[in-house]
Chains A and B, each alone.
Chain A
Amino acid sequence: MDSRQAFASAVSDSPSLTSPALEDLPRRRKWTTVRRFAENRLAVAGLVVVILLYLSAIAAPWISRYPYDEIYAGMRSKPPSAEHWLGTDRNGRDLYARLIKGGQVSLAAGFASVAIIMTIGVALGALSGFFGGIVDGIIMRATDVLLSVPQILLLITAASLFQPGLKTTVIVIGLTSWPGAARLVRGQFLALKGQEFVTAARAIGAGPLRIMLRHLFPNALAVIIVEATLWLSYAIILEASLSYLGLGVTIPTPSWGNMLQDGQRELIRGAWWQTFFPGMAIFLTVLSFNLMGDGLRDALDPRHRRR
């Protein structure tokens, strides 16, 4: 039997998990997770919206109706209408097309940043938790240092190192956000490495790399996935904040963050749609990722049940 299941059923307060015979657990458990997630209506709603968002990003060329960078003469800052569903921006570009394109950029930026965050976080957290001692000391002190400064200050400082743009935004978010993930994975590895199946693996001669990759990592995966989901939403907020400050994704490439900044200038003249829609898009996306991530956590780890 898989140790995570043993661990989960040992500490679980949920009767549905402890009632079936222990031998049946692996298969049943998988379906229990899916079922528990499916029963959580908010989480499913989050998942559906997230899927729709990614679909709209993929289908951007076909659904955006207008090119996102085409300037229409005499169409500066026009309110929503039948031709331009969400109105036009201050340069006379179609806002709906830009919102879709901006979604593509923001979602991609979020995804790429999370890839970096989780790669560094998992690798360093794993080393830290598994080896302990001086390795652990150095890595954890590095997280202490990074976590002691407000992240937005680190982001702004680091962003000024490079040319502003999508690539810089992703790299900078990735390089400043890993400490949380590293600590989480470290905790998981610490808890797991003392268990019997690890001792057994050691006894049959498995090396450290094999133990980490084949035995510890799969058991920590559930926690890692939940963390990654929640970071997806946070990375999008960070991208928006940086781009809003003019240090992230730069125009003419639209992102939800720089659309906010761009639209803000017209706000005083009553052109609310240029600020309202990009912000709404960020809000909905972050909300959906959070609902999904939270539902995933509840489904995967009954100890964390909050609802």
Chain B
Amino acid sequence: MQSGTWAYLTRRAIFLVPLLIGLSILMFALIHAAPGDPALAMMGERAAANPQYVEQVRKNLGLDKPLPVQYFIWMRNLLQGDFGTAYTFGNKPVLDLIGERFWSTIQLQAISLFLGIAIAVPVGIISATRQYSLLDNTVTVGSFLGLALPNFWLALLLQIWIGVKLGWLPVISTGQANAEFPERIKYFIMPVLVLTLPNIAYFARFMRSSMLEVVNQDYVTVARAKGLDHRAVIYSHALRNALIPMVTVIGLQLPRILGGAVIIEQIFAWPGLGDLAYKAIGQRDYPVILAVTMLSGVAVMVVNLLTDLVYCLVDPRVSLTS
């Protein structure tokens, strides 16, 4: 790695600050521009009929202050590590809420991502080394099918077929958290399957084209010419370089992965972050919406940065100094 790399990365990291401020202003403006009053959303019908009471609640939440003031108060608290208290969700501190749900989303998504890569990489390699074979064509068509499949539709069909008709697996995830280990796997099978399929399709397609590009390069031909056997050429020479672009692609998938959780978690009643965000937006729970979007923003930006770093660690030709 070149010496300028660290300077570059530091600069990039510092640059995240204005980006995050931009993101927070955008989200703040969006949620406050939306019609609907969180004070009304959080109270019962009878209480909402009393304008004095509504006014008092708004005041308690600090919603009576001008927007810029609200923003600065929120920002000041955030800098002290205080994400505030949720308006709904039993008025829990936002960080606790996120903490409760973080792992259930991560477990689901990490398994799907890992399975996706573990299946897609070998499939992509075999497909590329036997270009235009029956297997290769099957993989190409299969990945087109996988990419076009609306996975929430698949989720609904699986629920009814495997969950209700055959009764093999639980339809929704209620009780998942209390289930013991072997029994608990059952709750994961359908959501993981549904989330993994598009990952396989996407990564296999990319792995195949990345591998094809490498296989046609001169150094691979040289390796073959000097008499190395096929396996050695593919697995120790070509594969290493073909895997490099995969790093970026996997990194770029993060927003899609976080977003994919929203609908699938709705369908399976999975108590994760996507479900939290969806409900918070519906209930105008400002502190929760802001916290979830800010955290996902930070996660995406940091992963992008790490992707660049990994890229430059594994491939000495890449320079980040410019």
Give A residues with C-beta under 8 Å from B. Answer: 42, 141-142, 144-154, 156-158, 160-161, 233, 237, 240-241, 244-245, 260, 264, 267-268, 270, 272, 275-276, 279, 282-284, 286-287, 290-291, 294, 306-307
Contacts and interface: CB of A to CB of B under 8 A. Distances in A.
Given A153-B277, A287-B145, A148 B152 contact: no
Contacts of B258: 150, 153
B300 A279 contact: no
Residue among A154, A157, A237, A283 having the largest count of chain B Cβ atoms under 10 Å: A157
A46 to B, nearest CB: 9
A152 B164 contact: no
B289 interface: yes
Given A157-B27, A160-B281, A151 B259 contact: yes
Contacts of B152: 241, 244, 260
Contact of B147 (A145, A276, A290): A290
Contact of A157 (B153, B156, B289): B289
B297 A149 contact: yes
Interface string B132-158: 000000001100110111101110110
B77 interface: no
Q: Which of A150, A157, A272, A286 has the most CB of B within 10 A?
A: A150
A149 B164 CA distance: 35
Interface stretch (B17-25, B43-51, B66-74, B93-101): B17-25
B153 A307 contact: no
A306 B255 contact: no
Contacts of B144: 42, 287, 290-291, 294
Choose among B212, B259, B260, B263 the residue with the greatest number of A CB atoms under 10 Å from its CB: B259
22 contacts: A142-B22, A145-B19, A145-B26, A148-B255, A149-B293, A149-B296, A153-B258, A153-B259, A153-B281, A154-B30, A157-B34, A161-B30, A161-B35, A245-B262, A245-B266, A245-B278, A270-B160, A275-B157, A276-B157, A279-B150, A287-B145, A306-B208
A160 B263 contact: no
Contacts of B263: 152, 241, 244-245
Interface of B: 18-19, 22-23, 26-27, 30-31, 33-36, 140-141, 144-145, 147-150, 152-154, 156-157, 159-160, 164, 205, 208-209, 212, 255-256, 258-260, 262-263, 266, 277-278, 281-282, 289, 292-293, 296-297, 300-301
Contact of A148 (B23, B34, B208): B23
A37 B221 CA distance: 31
A145 B22 contact: yes
Given A149-B293, A150-B296, A283 B148 contact: yes
Contacts of B260: 150, 152
Contact of B150 (A160, A240, A264): A240
B263 to A, nearest CB: 6
A148 B150 contact: no
B278 A156 contact: yes
Contact of A144 (B19, B148, B296): B19
Nearest to B258: A150
Contact of A267 (B19, B23, B156, B289): B156
A81 to B, nearest CB: 21
- Residue from A148, A233, A279 having most chain B Cβ neighbours under 10 A: A148
A134 to B, nearest CB: 14
A101 B315 CA distance: 52
A267 B19 CA distance: 44
Nearest to A244: B152
B22 A141 contact: yes
B156 A286 contact: no
Contacts of B154: 279
Contact of A150 (B150, B208, B259): B259
Contact of B33 (A152, A161, A287): A161
B305 to A, nearest CB: 12
Contacts of A286: 147-148, 150
Nearest to B297: A148
A152 B160 contact: no
A142 B30 CA distance: 15
A64 B260 CA distance: 34
Nearest to B30: A157
Nearest to A278: B153
Contact of A149 (B23, B36, B212): B23
Contact of A158 (B30, B141, B148, B157): B30
Nearest to B150: A282
Nearest to A307: B140
Contacts of A141: 18-19, 22
**Chain B CB within 10 A, most for which of A42, A276, A279:** A279
B160 A148 contact: no
A88 to B, nearest CB: 18
Contacts of A245: 262-263, 266, 278
B108 to A, nearest CB: 15
Contacts of B292: 153
Contacts of A150: 255-256, 258-260, 262, 296
B148 A152 contact: no
B153 A153 contact: no
The 5 A-B pairs of least Cβ separation, nearest first, read: A150-B259, A279-B153, A287-B148, A152-B259, A286-B148
Given A151-B259, A153-B281, 4 more contacts: A142-B22, A272-B157, A286-B147, A306-B208
B256 A161 contact: no
B169 to A, nearest CB: 15
A141 B262 CA distance: 26
Given A287-B145, A291-B144, A161 B153 contact: no
Contacts of B147: 286, 290
